[in-house]
Amino acid sequence: MHYLIKNSFIEMYPDKELNFDAKLKYSKAFKGYNANVKYSRNKDFFEFRLSYNWKDVSSEIKMGIIQNLFNRVNKTNVKTLNIEMYNIFLKKLTDYVPVTKTDEILEKSFDRVNETYFDNLMIKPNLIFGGKNIQTLGTYSYGTDTIMISKLLIKDLNLLDYVMYHEMLHKKLKYQQKNGRTQHHSPEFKRLERLYFDKDAESKLNKFVRKHKFKGWF
Ligand SMILES: [Zn+2]
């Protein structure tokens, strides 16, 4: 077993027996600093897959992401210094991820929102449209500094800007850890979100979501 996996596990679960097998793999299939873990129950085997970019990251931060993945797969909520370091790393990272993807419509939306609500101070992230079938209005991914917006929102630029604003707030505020839970929509987030000029935007968006059978947004 890879020593980082072993050390990560022992630190998290000192009373548990280390009786599984595990492997650490770097994968070029991942973008940014994404990672995942697969557990096969019949073999009691964990495969941790980290994007290739992780290769040069320090061991203590790597342990943080491994522990984070252990928490996810074991449905535990163990807190460690490494996880804390990993969270700081992830938040800082966003400022250094290369911006390579953009789209004219999204860029214009970003510029409008940036000027109105962020004094033009926000650095442009990657901006992409999700496929027409994607049932998510928008997402912001920290690891790749990317805002993804549903293509269906092209129909309504006001709602597009509103979703853009929401995702930009994620980029600005990152996330908080509170009582061991990750908080993405903090009270501060919601306060800022309400500053959007169209006070009916939320109900218009709910209508839009129902009409197009979206699952929601993040
Ligand atoms: Zn959100």
15/73 same-domain check: yes
pLDDT at 38: 93
Instruction: Give bridge partners of residue 46 from the DSSP assignment.
Output: 22, 39
Q: Give the strand pairing for 176-178 and 181-183.
A: antiparallel
Q: Give the strand pairing for 138-141 and 126-130.
A: unpaired
Q: How far is the centre of ligand 1, averaged over its atoms, from the C-alpha of 165 (Å)?
A: 10
CB atoms within 10 A of CB 112: 15
Q: What total of structural domains would you count in the chain?
A: 2
Q: How far is the centre of ligand 1, averaged over its atoms, from the C-alpha of 150 (Å)?
A: 14
- Out of 61, 93, 125, a domain closes at 93
Q: Using one digit for the tens of pLDDT, what is the confidence trace for 7-57? A: 999 999 999 998 899 999 999 988 788 899 999 988 889 999 999 989 889
Dist CA 12 CA 8 (whole Å)? 6
* Within a domain: 170: yes
Instruction: Give bridge partners of residue 66 from the DSSP assignment.
Output: none
CATH number of the domain to which 76 belongs: 3.30.2010
> Domain limits at 43?
3-93
CATH number of the domain to which 129 belongs: 3.30.2010.10
* Within a domain: 218: no
110/207 same-domain check: yes
Q: How far is the centre of ligand 1, averaged over its atoms, from the C-alpha of 186 (Å)?
A: 10
* Within a domain: 217: no
pLDDT at 23: 95
Question: Over pLDDT 90: what percentage of the chain?
Answer: 62
Q: Using one digit for the tens of pLDDT, what is the confidence trace for 73-127? A: 999 999 999 999 999 888 787 777 777 888 999 999 999 999 999 999 999 999 9
